[in-house]
Amino acid sequence: MPFVYNAWYVIALPDEVIDRPLARTVLGMPLVSFRQTDGAAAVLLDLCPHRFAALSDGSVAGGRLQCPYHGLQFDGGGRCVHNPHGNGARPSTLDVRSFPVVERDDLIWIWAGDAGDADPADIPDFRCRVDPDLGHVGGYFHLGCNDRLLLDNLMDLGHVQYVHSSKMQSDGFARHRRDVVRERRDIHAFITYPSAAPNALTRRMLPDAPELVDGWSDVRWFPVSATLNYVAYAPAGSAKESSRGASGTHILTPESEGATHYFFGSSRNFAIDDPAIDQVLREWQIQALTREDKRVVEQVEARSAYARAHEFTPAMLSCDEAAVRVSREIDRLERVERERASTSHVAPISTTADRSTGLRG
Amino acid sequence: MPFVYNAWYVIALPDEVIDRPLARTVLGMPLVSFRQTDGAAAVLLDLCPHRFAALSDGSVAGGRLQCPYHGLQFDGGGRCVHNPHGNGARPSTLDVRSFPVVERDDLIWIWAGDAGDADPADIPDFRCRVDPDLGHVGGYFHLGCNDRLLLDNLMDLGHVQYVHSSKMQSDGFARHRRDVVRERRDIHAFITYPSAAPNALTRRMLPDAPELVDGWSDVRWFPVSATLNYVAYAPAGSAKESSRGASGTHILTPESEGATHYFFGSSRNFAIDDPAIDQVLREWQIQALTREDKRVVEQVEARSAYARAHEFTPAMLSCDEAAVRVSREIDRLERVERERASTSHVAPISTTADRSTGLRG
Amino acid sequence: MPFVYNAWYVIALPDEVIDRPLARTVLGMPLVSFRQTDGAAAVLLDLCPHRFAALSDGSVAGGRLQCPYHGLQFDGGGRCVHNPHGNGARPSTLDVRSFPVVERDDLIWIWAGDAGDADPADIPDFRCRVDPDLGHVGGYFHLGCNDRLLLDNLMDLGHVQYVHSSKMQSDGFARHRRDVVRERRDIHAFITYPSAAPNALTRRMLPDAPELVDGWSDVRWFPVSATLNYVAYAPAGSAKESSRGASGTHILTPESEGATHYFFGSSRNFAIDDPAIDQVLREWQIQALTREDKRVVEQVEARSAYARAHEFTPAMLSCDEAAVRVSREIDRLERVERERASTSHVAPISTTADRSTGLRG
């Protein structure tokens, strides 16, 4: 499957990984997460080396994961530590692949590629999610859409005026300015809406907003599947420092080519303890992501087989610049990885068990 | 997909195409229908050239269809007439394919092939559907069956005695006479049932029917997917001119190889204003088409993979003559189209936008 | 499909084959079963040679099966005995393949391969199912699992301690002894649990069981898809002859590679007329087969595509010996059959009608 494996991906929110195993498929790999006795999360291939049973249907006791089929037990590093059959032998063929894990910024990240290449310094910075001076809401959705089509959507703010018209339509849309820049490995799309009436969502959250505001939006893509979307408003003509805004977490982890794990959140610098605003944002996240974006992307996906069969190429608009640059960069990373795999004569996904213990950020 | 594209197909009934776009897939092509300001129907590929969004999820205003994703607007000929992004440029790559359209006989026909070959004179004659001296009932069903298997069923009146036994079984079946003739491009199957008791459906609609009637049936196939089935009865031995009967519309438009749009109707020359007879016929259409024929054809389809894998060939009976001749003719038309495409080195479905405006019958 | 065709398979329980046709797919072949006038079961390919309609949607009268589409009638040997169309000709191309049938031991067996090779002496011995000195409960389930994965499960008693822990966990598990032997064409796995507390199911059925019992289990595999699992208990140290136990029918007939017909039963030598024990066993069969085994096997199946793509080989444990020997034997039988078919230049499934009449055991 056409994925970049050598990258950090979010597999779960910390409170999803508890005293029971959690099954989740990532990049086509069935994985199981559980907590060890020291509280560290562990992630293994969810496939017992014996008969390929689902370890996630088993149980966790004493930080060990027990297979539901024949009772083999595994530690967080994937090593088989108990075999109740025959003489109890535990050859290395009974070990299961484990993945490097880092829990940071209220997210559990795994390195999906060769464990030797995992560097926690490459994990995108989402510290806004745990900033005590901000107000947070967020969660997890499973969407039946391709992650690349969702990423096109996230990097392209031109769709907001139409897909999210009920809450986000702005009379400043025709006058907005856009700039796309690359910063080290990241790609940003900056948009400014000068001196426009606040949109419906802003009016809902900031009833005291003035008649005219300046708006900013900064969508930052971190390779390969995470974006942070900072949106802010200030009275028209005032300093950007006086703005009220929120950093939006939008992290897409491919389950398969046709389904995506979506980790989302909003971290705002206003009304941070106001549960009514929490509720407004929660409803908006459900509406925007699971109804509006989902619908349009699913329909694009439904037409992609026809478009491919007829060799259609999308006719790009000016609003697509950031999405196109991100897409080309991911294509490049995939190509690099494929070529590396073919020259090294090593499959990108090792079938032997990986001994590295989980990392912790 | 093995379809004849260079042909007229019914895409919708006129009252299905209103002020909102209608999505319908025809021959594997996702299409969208809408009304222009002059009331003329337009049919476009339901796939925005920008990001392949579903135009049918958008809106119609002022006879223009607006894409739900980024607000591009298209006229009935598929030309992009508004781009709200950047400098508003509208290169021809933003145009979408349109299809020749004719609205006639209470049906909306499209030409699914090369627009230059479309000739409204080739549209089958269904004027009976709008004859004010007849009584009409009809509608539209979506069936999860292959259209060719349904067409076999329509051309073969030998199945009526068995599949529709509750209403159509006749004691004249064993004495019926059959004749199959070709008339220009059409193929007819004539059947006569001399001097038999009226079947249950006839007795229901014509309570005053005599004890013995002569029956006629004339199933006419028009290339490639429409049939008109005239069924009539007269007192045994009387002139055919005194018959009471109905012309049955049975038009099959393939959605895909496994699903068919079925446009059906009945236009009768008796009790034309009697709503009780309308109701009898409506119930009969539902029973015969969506229960009895659907069930038998779905089961044939379920077995076709097994039959193909074992290279079974159907063992034809005498009642299959018309169906076999129609089937061979469609195979020939497909072959001609395939060969023409391969010699011209032009794909049968053009990916460039088609500028022709809709025709109107 | 990778099946052994030259073998006897159970297609139905006798009381499933009544005066209406029964449709059931076996080894990928759509089949129809019905009763002839002498009460003998007949099994035909469920596919009319005319248009491939489902004969199972037709009716049975006078021991003949009538096609629902055009009224052709077939006898139990597959011969077309009535054609109501045209001159009524019945060439041999209108005959349908029939299968050798034996009704024995409250099971209906068919020979799925070349009729000439069918020998009723090869049918596995399940006479325990009709022994008047035993108490019987049993039935039929359809499971969406591969039959080979279910057979691995049946031949491997190491899983019982874990998958069926609520009722079958034994403190004698760690001390059990196992022996696997081949006896003519059959393979047995013997297990003895010396001097252990009765498990929960035993305590439920035998409230007067002593504190310590010796347990036996003898799982016998008959090629290719039937197993008989005898389980018994006696007071610890007493003679095996004094045991109370049950012979378990576990017969798997592949429907396709991903679904299996499961015929099961229990024939016990205690409390044979006690409906309360019948009920305990019925509930246990539902729990063990349709919940516990089904769940674990479905999850193995869900992972098999991943395991195959990465060329994983299962890491066998000592408890797998019987399952591995059975699996190798089935692989060998499949290979023999494939090679025979390729050297004889005859397809393993004949497409011509088979004239042999049903056998009766």
Among A98, A122, A146, the domain-final residue is: A122
Q: Is C95 on the interface with B (CB under 8 A)?
A: no
Domain check: are A326 and A190 in the same one? yes
- pLDDT tens track, chain C, 361 positions: 689 999 999 999 999 998 899 999 999 999 999 999 999 999 999 999 999 999 999 999 999 999 999 999 999 999 999 999 999 999 999 999 999 999 999 999 999 999 999 999 999 999 999 999 999 999 999 999 999 999 999 999 889 999 999 999 998 888 888 899 999 999 999 999 888 999 999 999 988 889 999 998 999 999 999 999 999 999 988 887 778 999 999 999 999 999 999 999 999 999 999 999 999 999 999 999 999 999 999 999 999 989 999 999 999 999 999 999 999 999 999 999 999 887 765 444 443 333 333 333 3
- Confidence (pLDDT) at C240: 79
- Inter-chain residue contact B161 with C71, CB threshold 8 Å: yes
Each residue's pLDDT tens digit, B184-220? 999 999 999 888 999 999 999 988 889 999 998 999 9
Q: Which residue of A has its CA nearest to C300?
A: A53
Residue C361 in any domain: the answer is no
Pair (C144, C93) in one structural domain: no
Chain C: partners with 3+ C-beta pairs within 8 Å = A, B
Most confident of A169-173, A193-197, B330-334: B330-334
State whether A232 and A330 are in the same domain. yes
In a domain, A311, yes or no: yes
Compute the average pLDDT of residues A52-66: 97
Residues B117 and B251 in one domain: no
Q: How many CB pairs under 8 A join B and C?
A: 75
CB pairs under 8 A between A and B: 75
**C197/C109 same-domain check:** no
pLDDT digits (tens, 9 = 90+) for B33-54: 999 999 999 999 999 999 999 9
Q: What CATH number did the domain enclosing B77 receive?
A: 2.102.10.10
| Range scoring the smallest mean pLDDT among A350-359, B80-89, B120-129 | A350-359
> What is the structure's pLDDT at B344?
63
Q: Which chains touch B (3 or more CB pairs under 8 A)?
A: A, C
Contact partners, residue B289, CB within 8 Å, separation at least 6: B141, B143, B262, B264
pLDDT digits 0-9 by tens, B11-32 = 999 999 988 999 999 999 999 9
How would residue A348 be classed by pLDDT, with cut points 50, 70 and 90? very low
**Out of C302, C312, C314, closest to residue A351 by CB:** C312
- Residue B319 pLDDT exceeds 80: yes
pLDDT tens digits along C191-241: 998 889 999 999 999 888 899 999 989 999 999 999 999 999 999 888 877
- Chain C residues whose beta carbon lies within 8 Å of the beta carbon of residue A53: 296, 299-300, 303
* Average pLDDT in chain B: 91
Instruction: Give A63 to chain C, closest Cα distance, Å.
Output: 19
Q: Judge if A149 and A48 occupy the same domain.
A: no
- List b or e across C108-120, with b for residues whose CB sees 16 or more CB atoms inside 10 angstroms: bbbbbbbbeebee
Domain-embedded: residue B38: yes
- Domain count of the fold of chain C: 2
- pLDDT value at residue B247: 96
Q: Which structural domain range is residue B138 located in?
A: 132-336
Domain final residue, candidates B66, B92, B122:
B122
Residues C196 and C328 in one domain: yes
Q: Is C57 in the B-facing interface, judged by CB distances under 8 Å?
A: yes
Taking Cα atoms as reference points, which of A60, A93, A57 lies closest to residue A76? A60
Average pLDDT of chain A is 92
ipTM score: 0.90
Residue of chain B whose Cα is closest to the Cα of A310? B351
State residue A353's pLDDT score.
36
Chain A residues 240-299 with a CB less than 8 Å from chain B: 295-296, 299
Share of chain A above pLDDT 70, in %: 95
Does residue A330 share a domain with residue A231? yes
Q: Who's near A7: CB < 8 A, 6+ residues apart?
A: A111, A112, A113, A122, A223, A224, A225, A333
Burial class from Cβ neighbours inside 10 Å (0-12, 13-18, 19+) for residue A16 reads middle
Q: Do C49 and B296 touch (CB under 8 A)?
A: no
Looking at B122, B142, B157, the residue that finishes a domain is B122
At B347 the pLDDT is 45
Whether the pLDDT of residue B361 is over 60: the answer is no
Q: Is residue B342 part of a domain?
A: no
Q: Does residue A351 belong to any structural domain of this protein? A: no
Tell whether C310 is covered by a domain.
Answer: yes
Element (H, E) at A296: helix A294-309
Q: In this complex, is the C-beta atom of C305 within 8 Å of any C-beta atom belonging to chain A? A: no
Reported as a single tens digit per residue, the pLDDT across C294-333 is 999 999 999 998 999 999 999 999 999 999 999 999 999 9
* Nearest chain B alpha carbon to C90: B317
User: Do residue A303 and residue B86 have CB atoms under 8 angstroms apart?
Assistant: no
The 10s digit of each residue's pLDDT in B225-280 is 999 999 999 998 888 777 899 999 999 999 999 999 999 999 999 999 999 999 99
Same domain, C176 and C259: yes
- Regarding whether A326 and A194 lie in a shared domain, the answer is yes
> Quick one: three-class SS letters along chain C?
CCCCCCCEEEEECHHHCCCCCEEEEECCEEEEEEECCCCCEEEEECCCCCCCCCHHHCEEECCEEECCCCCCEECCCCCEEECCCCCCCCCHHHCCCEECEEEECCEEEEECCCHHHCCHHHCCCCHHHHCCCCEEEEEEEEECCCHHHHHHHHHCHHHHHHHCHHHHCCCCHHHCEEEEEEECCEEEEEEEEEEECCCHHHHHHCCCCCCCEEEEEEEEEECCCEEEEEEEEEECCCCHHHCEEEEEEEEEEEEECCEEEEEEEEEECCCCCCHHHHHHHHHHHHHHHHHHHHHHHHHHHHHHHHHHHCCCCCCCCHHHHHHHHHHHHHHHHHHHHHHHHHHHCCCCCCCCCCCCCCCCC
Provide, as residue numbers in chain B, all residues whose Cβ is less than 8 Å from the Cβ of C68: 162-163, 296
The reply to whether B115 falls in a domain is: yes
Residue A251 phi, psi (nearest 5): -115, 125
Residue C357 belongs to some domain of the structure: no
Q: Give how far C307 is from chain A: nearest CA, Å.
A: 8
Strand-pair partners of C44:
C32, C98
For residue A224, whether the previous peptide bond is cis, meaning omega lies within 30 degrees of 0, is yes
Per-residue pLDDT of A245-288, as tens digits, reads 999 999 999 999 999 999 999 999 999 999 999 999 999 999 99
Q: Report the CATH number that the domain containing residue C222 is assigned in CATH.
A: 3.90.380.10
pLDDT, tens digit (0-9, with 9 covering 90-100), for B149-180: 999 999 998 899 999 999 999 988 888 888 99
Q: Which residues pair with A338 in a beta bridge?
A: none
Bridge partners of residue C245, in order along the sequence: C232
Regarding predicted confidence, which is higher, A237 or B104? B104
The helix or strand, by DSSP H or E, that contains position B321, with its residue range, turns out to be helix B321-344
Do A158 and A280 lie in one domain? The reply is yes
The per-residue pLDDT for A356 is 33
Asked if B228 and B163 sit in the same domain, the reply is: yes
Residue B100 scores a pLDDT above 80: yes
